[in-house]
């Protein structure tokens, strides 16, 4: 490790690699666990070297973007973080200032401008780094782990971003530590407690929809923290960071097993702005679920189907979508058609999952109550949910032809048709599994179920995007980029406030803020997009099919 964090380009025997050196301990952890740098990429031809200043510019601007986001979330009155006493170490009002309106005027606009400008800069930097990995010398995932570390640090210092879910996690953990079932009651049962005062909104009286692994571990973290709310929040963010570390380790390994460029997969799936904003910044438990899911798929790919299914069952014990990994491994390793072997593997997967859930329920003393509360999060509404948007757009259109149909009627129909269309997409994807490969098929299925489901949260898209990134072809990579950037901007709370408050500004202040946002959009970022692309087919980027048929996996 060098004495100062710096970015270096070198050429090794396998091809040119992007080397990043950072003395931070987390960076060293990621590098040491991803694997030897010499084996990270396949030999490719036609690549052009990305200059050191351009590389520093890309990563430096990404860091600047996350710093802007952290500043925007930390300012008083910012809509990007929870602004009540005790919610974080700084940037929240004191109990004596509760009556002061801190969310009005220039401070709110400054927070909004910094936050959205930072998101734009981060997205542009990520896009430039991803395109550079595809068009220039392929990047070693171990070195990209340093970029992930650097971009994550400001987001970890800032208050939990864009969501209050982590406060509900902490309150549910407090319930578990007090031997109160979170599957029967909401955090409101805690009464006057620092934990219940932070778990506000719909979750205050809603039972937990999360599995026994996450709920049980959360209870242990509360006990470890000495029942201190802020310390619990720090531990929960570190738990989410552990899930991101699992992704950083296993996403490139899964990509390599399919003959794909692991560096490009790392950029698309792990350095994705949705990962940074909602898994690192927000601390959502989806990080742990996705990390265990990708780990299970990778272990199964190496011929250990039983262990792979066990890891995916652990992912399902965090959030139920992880169970898709168990089904996918059993289905893929069972041969073609509906064979006796496939039926036996599906049965084995069911037994492994049930045994895992029972063991965890016994260890943490939680039982199976979570099975009855899985749909609790469906009550939360979000304007980016496609089926809800359709239900809101169609009624005004019907009035043009003199038809009066209630929006609730369209909403009920959309909530029925959406999942049916998603199931049809899944069936078609499964039929094409021998050609498309497991990650592509599974990613498409998860995305369809999320986008056409009753509720869409920005971080839900990562269920499919991370898996899809491991074998993404050129067109799939473009789709991942477009969807990730669009949701990173449109899915952030505060967008409506930005539009509403903008019209109330004085002309001078409006011009200044417009210049700040415009600068974020037009300031040159060394994109690395110029020059001839390397041989993408040789790197496995143009062919959407797996480099070899799905392995007939053996029992562990």
Among 60-74, 185-199, 205-219, 393-407, where is mean pLDDT lowest?
A: 393-407
Give Rg (Cα) of the chain: 24
If you average pLDDT over every residue of the chain, what do you get? Answer: 76
349-358, 380-389, 546-555: the lowest-pLDDT one? 546-555
pLDDT tens sequence across 187-228: 888 888 888 888 877 778 888 889 999 999 999 999 999 999
Per-residue pLDDT at 498? 53
Instruction: Read off the pLDDT of each residue in 228-245 and give the average, rounded to a whole number.
Output: 94
pLDDT for position 99: 44
Non-local CB neighbours of 151 within 8 Å, separated by 6+ positions: 59, 62, 63, 65, 66, 122, 271, 276
pLDDT at residue 18 is higher than 50: no
353 φ/ψ angles, rounded to the nearest 5 degrees: -65, -45
Local confidence band at 356 (pLDDT 50, 70, 90 cut-offs):
very high
What are the φ/ψ torsions at residue 228 (nearest 5 degrees)?
-100, 125
pLDDT score of 336 more than 80: no
Mean pLDDT of 418-434: 85
End-to-end CA distance of the chain: 38
pTM: 0.79
**Residue 402: pLDDT band with limits 50, 70, 90:** low
- Number of neighbours of residue 392 by Cβ within 10 angstroms: 15
More confident residue, 159 or 454: 159
**Does residue 534 register a pLDDT over 60?**
no
Given this model, what pLDDT does residue 39 score?
A: 32
Q: Averaged over 459-477, what is the pLDDT?
A: 91
Task: Kindly report which listed range (65-69, 72-76, 253-257, 356-360) carries the lowest average pLDDT score.
Answer: 72-76
The pLDDT score that the predictor gives to residue 206 is 84
Q: At what angle do helices 407-431 and 438-451 cross, to 10 degrees?
A: 170
- How high is the pLDDT of residue 271? 94
Among 305-319, 328-342, 392-406, 427-441, the minimum mean pLDDT is found in: 392-406
How confident is residue 335, by pLDDT bands cut at 50, 70 and 90? low
Residue at token pair 């520093």: 56
Residue 537: the pLDDT is: 42
Q: Tell me how far apart the alpha carbons of residues 391 and 407 are, in angstroms, rounded to a whole number.
A: 6
Nearest Cα residue to 439 out of 309, 534, 298: 298
* β-bridge mates for residue 11, sequence order: 16
Contact 361, 367 (CB under 8 A): yes
Tokens 């031997």, residue located: 179
Report the distance separating Cα 476 and Cα 462, nearest Å: 14
**What would the two tokens of residue 453 be?**
């489901």
Output 293 or 24, whichever has higher pLDDT. 293
Residue 31's pLDDT band (boundaries 50, 70, 90)?
very low
Per-residue pLDDT for 102 more than 60? no
Q: Which pair of tokens denotes residue 367?
A: 């039982």
Which of 315-319, 331-335, 437-441 has the highest average model confidence (pLDDT)? Answer: 315-319
């Amino acid at each position: 490790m060098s004495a100062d964090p710096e970015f270096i380009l070198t050429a090794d025997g396998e091809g040119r690699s992007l080397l990043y050196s950072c003395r931070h301990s987390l960076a060293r952890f990621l590098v040491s666990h991803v694997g030897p740098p010499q084996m990270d990429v396949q030999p490719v031809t036609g690549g052009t070297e990305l200059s050191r200043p351009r590389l520093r510019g890309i990563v430096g601007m990404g860091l600047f973007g996350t710093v802007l986001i952290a500043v925007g979330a930390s300012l008083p009155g910012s809509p990007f973080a929870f602004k009540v006493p005790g919610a974080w170490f700084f940037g929240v009002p004191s109990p004596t200032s509760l009556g002061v309106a801190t969310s009005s005027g220039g401070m709110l606009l400054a927070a909004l401008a910094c936050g959205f400008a930072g998101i734009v800069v981060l997205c542009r930097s990520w896009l430039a780094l991803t395109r550079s990995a595809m068009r220039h010398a392929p990047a070693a995932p171990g070195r990209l782990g340093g970029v992930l570390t650097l971009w994550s640090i400001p987001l970890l210092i800032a208050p939990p971003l864009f969501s209050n879910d982590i406060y509900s996690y902490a309150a549910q953990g407090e319930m578990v530590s007090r031997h109160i079932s979170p599957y029967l009651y909401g955090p409101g049962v805690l009464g006057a407690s620092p934990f219940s005062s932070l778990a506000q909104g719909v979750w205050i009286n809603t039972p937990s929809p999360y599995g026994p692994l996450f709920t049980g571990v959360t209870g242990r973290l509360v006990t470890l923290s000495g029942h201190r709310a802020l310390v619990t929040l720090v531990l929960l963010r570190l738990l989410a960071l552990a899930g991101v570390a699992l992704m950083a380790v296993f996403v490139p390994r899964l990509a390599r097993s399919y003959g794909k460029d692991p560096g490009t997969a790392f950029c698309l799936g792990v350095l994705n702005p949705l990962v940074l904003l909602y898994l690192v910044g927000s601390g959502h438990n989806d990080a742990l679920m996705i990390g265990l899911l990708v780990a299970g798929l990778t272990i199964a790919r190496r011929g250990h189907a039983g262990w792979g299914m066990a890891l995916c069952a652990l992912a399902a014990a965090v959030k139920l979508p992880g169970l898709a990994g168990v089904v996918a491994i059993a289905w893929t390793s069972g041969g073609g058609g509906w064979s006796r072997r496939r039926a036996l593997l599906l049965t084995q997967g069911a037994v492994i999952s049930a045994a895992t859930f029972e063991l965890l329920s016994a260890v943490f003393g939680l039982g199976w109550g979570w099975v009855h509360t899985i749909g609790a999060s469906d009550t939360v509404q979000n304007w980016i949910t496609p089926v809800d948007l359709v239900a809101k757009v169609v009624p005004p259109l019907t009035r043009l032809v003199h038809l009066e149909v209630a929006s609730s009627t369209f909403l009920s129909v959309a909530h029925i048709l959406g999942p049916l269309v998603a199931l049809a997409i899944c069936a078609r994807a499964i039929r094409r599994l021998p050609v498309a490969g497991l990650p592509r098929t599974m990613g498409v299925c998860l995305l369809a179920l999320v986008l056409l489901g009753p509720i869409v949260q920005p971080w839900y898209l990562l269920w499919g995007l991370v898996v899809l990134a491991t074998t993404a072809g050129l067109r799939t990579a473009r789709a991942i980029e477009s969807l990730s950037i669009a949701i990173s901007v449109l899915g952030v709370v505060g967008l409506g406030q930005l539009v509403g408050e903008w019209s109330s500004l004085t002309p001078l202040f409006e011009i200044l803020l417009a210049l700040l946002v415009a600068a974020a959009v037009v300031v040159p970022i060394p994109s690395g997009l110029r020059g001839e692309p390397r041989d993408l087919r040789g790197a496995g980027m143009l062919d959407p099919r797996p480099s070899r048929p799905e392995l007939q996996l053996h029992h562990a």
